[in-house]
Structure 1
Amino acid sequence: GALQKRLRLYANINRHVQERTPAGFALAAKQAVDEGYTAIKLAPFDELRGPNHVRTGPNAAWRPGVERVRAVRRSIGDAIELAVDCHSRMEESEAIIVGHELADCNLFWYEEPVHHTQTESLARITQAVPMATASAESIFGVEGFRPFLTQRVVDVIMPDVKHNGGLAETQKIAAAARMNQILVAPHSPSGPVATAATAQVISTAVNFYILEHAWGEVDWRGDLLWPPEKVEDGHLILSSEPGLGHRLNMDVVNAHRRANATASDSSKVNAGK
């Protein structure tokens, strides 16, 4: 059964931010904090678009991203936890440099600076930077997590129930992480169904740290479910209804249905990622 009925969330502000300036990120972060969130995540490195970007010197492509992070930290103060997602856009030496540049921002984690398949690089980055690291959002099955569990590649693992094999597999991954004294912070920049599924399983894990919440995207998000998704003071209130705790509210689904929309397979396993 659930060990917690209230799961602490962090607000992923990234897709909400249209003005991709330091001020734009800072404003969004402050709005999320004002709503009660005690942790924020942003993906600030828009300029890291390809393998040939400038990595060092005064024109390094990561410098605007660092300024965005610093602006957010100034906006939210020191008491709010702050995480940075790098979307695997760096290489090892660059990631270490940027990690040290961000030292004054007091991050609670530095997420996926290099691709999760580069486990040796990730382990060296983890040893070199002055903050916790996080990764493993795209890995399938508890066996796929083996190096992250046995070699402590990162400090926090981020299983995603949509990609890692489902509810039972997520529970196995969390239990294996517990044996290796690794925290679990599920990856879920998704809609309320995926969040509800994640919440039901991760609420049973003693090494659960925090859950991702896609903040500020549409104001009808919570109403897609019945009973509605309930967030209070930056915490998801776990539903006691059977199954995932919710069912789809088809009135809201139909009200926002897009004509001629098509769905593609978003599985990271099938995509070979």
Structure 2
Amino acid sequence: MGDVDSAEVWSYRASRRSTWVMVEVVADGTRGVGELSDGAPLDALVNAARSVSSVVIGLPLDVARTTLRRQLEKLRTAGEDAFLWSTVLGGYEAAFADLQARLEGRPLSTSLGLGEPQPVRLYANLNRRYGGDGPEAILAAAVDAVRNGFPALKVAPFLDNHARGMCGAQLIDAGIEVVALVRDALPSDVQLMVDCHHLVPAELLDVVVRELAPMGLHWVEDLVPIGDRSGMERAAAGGLALAAGEHIWNPEVAAAACATGALRYWLADPKHAGGPVGVARIAEAVEGTQLTFHNPSGPIGTAHAAHLAGLAGAATWLEFAWGEADRTAFLEPAEPVTDGIIRPTGPGIGCRPRSRRKE
């Protein structure tokens, strides 16, 4: 395989909450693409990713990948920018993996040793577009997602009210009302997840557990910090299935968080975890905790996560940012999602960006 010809980083404004950040690496006339969204404020993220692009130009593909990985792994262990650099690593590693698989003429999952790509269940994250519109808009979005075949949904009941200055018991009461409204409107066979975004005050944890436990939620995400073992154990004992892990790239941290058994679901995010190799390390570290895929991202991130689903088994879930209209036109070919299922293909991730409009 030849040398790396170029590495380009660019962004695409998809909705009021989402800007997708991409990196594309070209070798032998073949292009591989990865996503590194949400790793830092947009300008800082794009500038960081562009600052290391020259490292790989002109090097043989395998040498370029190894050289950049070593540099970024060092950067992500240093200081407050560790999460940023882990996400940059995740984007480049994804692009290199896609490029490698395309040059081999195989689907990404096969290239990674995970077998042929398989259909993956999606849950619709409603807050990437509908957050801030009020309970009725969120309810309408939930009903619409169910009509489109999604077997599970996720709501963020505290996020927008917190951003508007609501706090304490008022914040909790308003959030619980949103969850109850959506749960009551859903068919019994549709799963509901709740993302708390670490906004529940410690002194109100028991109240939230008591209110949410009877609702039959599939999981409750980021209710307490993963280092709060006492809080996690109380919430689990109160009847909640807990989920966490989206920002963690260190396997030792993941293993420690799962050691008590209070966490039922680990939410791996391929771009933040450092790409396919990082997710594989996380999957090994969390052992008996069910691995699922956090992914409030663009179609490129979704495609990569779908090819990694073989690390987690048939019981896994993949997050899908529901309601971002540009998704339908962004990829070529179109995103292979039908009735809440994604069916990944190849070669590589099986798709590529159609254009860079809205950069």
Q: TM-score normalised to the size of structure 2?
A: 0.63
Aligned counterpart for 2:358 among listed residues 257, 260, 271: 257
Q: CA deviation at 1:176?
A: 3.3
**In structure 1, what is the equivalent of residue 199 of structure 2?**
89
Q: CA deviation at 1:52?
A: 9.1
Q: CA deviation at 1:202?
A: 1.8
Q: CA deviation at 1:243?
A: 2.2
Counterpart of 2:121 in 1: which secondary structure? Answer: strand
**In structure 2, what is the equivalent of residue 22 of structure 1?**
135
Q: CA deviation at 1:70?
A: 1.0
Counterpart of 1:64 in 2: which secondary structure? Answer: helix
Q: CA deviation at 1:222?
A: 3.7
Closer, same or farther: CA 2–50 of 1 in aligned 2, 3 Å: farther
Which string of whole-angstrom CA distances, capped at 9 and with x for unpartnered residues, describes residues 70-114 of structure 1? 111122122210010000112334223112112232100011012
Aligned counterpart for 2:352 among listed residues 242, 247, 269: 247
Q: Distance in 2 between matches of 1:172 and 1:47?
A: 36
Counterpart of 2:268 in 1: which secondary structure? Answer: coil
Closer, same or farther: CA 4–245 of 1 in aligned 2, 3 Å: closer
Q: Distance in 2 between matches of 1:125 and 1:49?
A: 27
- What is the identity percentage for the equivalent residue pairs of Structure 1 and Structure 2? 32
Amino acid at match of 2:358: R
Amino acid at match of 1:99: V
Counterpart of 1:162 in 2: which secondary structure? Answer: helix
Q: Distance in 1 between matches of 2:256 and 2:163?
A: 28
Which string of whole-angstrom CA distances, capped at 9 and with x for unpartnered residues, describes residues 220-243 of structure 1? 31432222211111001111x122
Closer, same or farther: CA 151–50 of 1 in aligned 2, 3 Å: farther
Give the number of aligned pairs: 245
Q: Distance in 2 between matches of 1:89 and 1:194?
A: 26
Amino acid at match of 1:165: G
CA contact (8 A) 2:242 2:264 kept: yes
**In structure 1, what is the equivalent of residue 152 of structure 2?**
39
Amino acid at match of 1:141: N
RMSD: 2.3
Q: Distance in 2 between matches of 1:140 and 1:18?
A: 27
Structure with bigger helix share is: 2
Any residues of structure 2 matched to 1:1-273 within 5 Å, and which?
1-2=114-115, 5-17=118-130, 20-45=133-158, 46-49=160-163, 53-55=167-169, 60-116=170-226, 118-177=227-286, 179=287, 181-206=288-313, 208-218=315-325, 220-239=326-345, 241-250=346-355, 253=356, 256-258=357-359
Amino acid at match of 2:119: R
Q: CA deviation at 1:199?
A: 1.2
Structure with bigger strand share is: 2
Moved more, 152-161 or 17-26: 17-26
Q: CA deviation at 1:23?
A: 2.0
Q: Distance in 1 between matches of 2:309 and 2:131?
A: 31
Q: Distance in 2 between matches of 1:214 and 1:156?
A: 19
Counterpart of 2:272 in 1: which secondary structure? Answer: coil
Q: CA deviation at 1:245?
A: 2.5
Q: Distance in 1 between matches of 2:248 and 2:292?
A: 14
Counterpart of 1:184 in 2: which secondary structure? Answer: strand
Q: Distance in 1 between matches of 2:246 and 2:144?
A: 27
CA contact (8 A) 1:47 1:62 kept: no
Amino acid at match of 1:124: E
Counterpart of 2:168 in 1: which secondary structure? Answer: coil
Name structure 2 gaps, 5 residues minimum. Answer: 1-113
Q: Distance in 2 between matches of 1:98 and 1:61?
A: 11
Q: CA deviation at 1:12?
A: 0.3
Q: Distance in 2 between matches of 1:38 and 1:159?
A: 20
Q: CA deviation at 1:153?
A: 4.2
Q: Distance in 2 between matches of 1:52 and 1:204?
A: 40
Name structure 1 gaps, 5 residues minimum. Answer: 259-273
Q: CA deviation at 1:207?
A: 6.5
